């Protein structure tokens, strides 16, 4: 048996996991607990670590059974074949989530906040938020003497 990555409809990861489990298929959906803020309350919510993906451990001949579940879109492909995820990678993912992240605080970004850039061409630089829009954040990188605009892509 091999692990495969399944792409699901948005916000269907938990439902797909439940239905696949009922079919007797071993499935793994890594979840993290987040604290969600509403105007009147805070609530801890389990959300998928990797949105729109779940992992299934299934025989090659049985792969089409997953499409009996509403919300499954397709397998993730690599070089024209369904991508196989090694057991070690799934175990590493499970182990990395054990007790490490019991909750994540989600807060709003506001002008004046200092942000460390962790990826991309400005990785390792620190910027100060000068402007926040619906889908954009403008950062001042004093060290380089530039202003950059970060735009959220659709679907994030």
Rounded to whole angstroms, what are the CA distances from 25 to 11, 35, 115?
20, 30, 42
* Cα–Cα separations (whole angstroms), residue 19 to 13, 56, 84, 121: 10, 12, 22, 41
| DSSP state letters, 81-116 | EEPEEPHHHHHHHHHHHTTT-S-EE-----TT-EEE
- pLDDT tens, position by position, 61-96: 899 999 999 999 999 988 888 988 889 888 888 887
pTM here? Answer: 0.61
Band of residue 16 on the pLDDT scale cut at 50, 70, 90: very high
With CA atoms as reference, report the closest residue to 86 among 48, 51, 55: 55
Judge whether residue 144 has pLDDT over 90.
Answer: no
């Amino acid at each position: 048996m091999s692990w495969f990555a399944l792409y699901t409809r948005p916000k269907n990861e938990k439902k797909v996991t439940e239905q696949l489990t009922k079919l007797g298929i071993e499935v793994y959906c890594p979840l993290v607990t987040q604290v969600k803020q509403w105007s009147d309350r805070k609530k801890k919510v389990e959300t998928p670590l990797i949105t729109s993906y779940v992992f299934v451990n299934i025989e090659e001949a049985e792969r089409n059974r997953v499409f009996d579940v509403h919300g499954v879109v397709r397998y993730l492909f690599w070089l024209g074949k369904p991508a196989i995820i090694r057991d070690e990678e799934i175990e590493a993912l499970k182990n990395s989530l054990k007790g490490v992240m019991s909750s994540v605080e989600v807060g709003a970004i506001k002008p004046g906040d200092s942000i460390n850039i962790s990826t991309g061409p400005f990785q390792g630089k620190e910027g100060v938020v000068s402007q926040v829009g619906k889908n954009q954040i403008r950062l001042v990188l004093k060290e380089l003497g530039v202003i950059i605009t970060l735009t959220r892509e659709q679907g994030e």
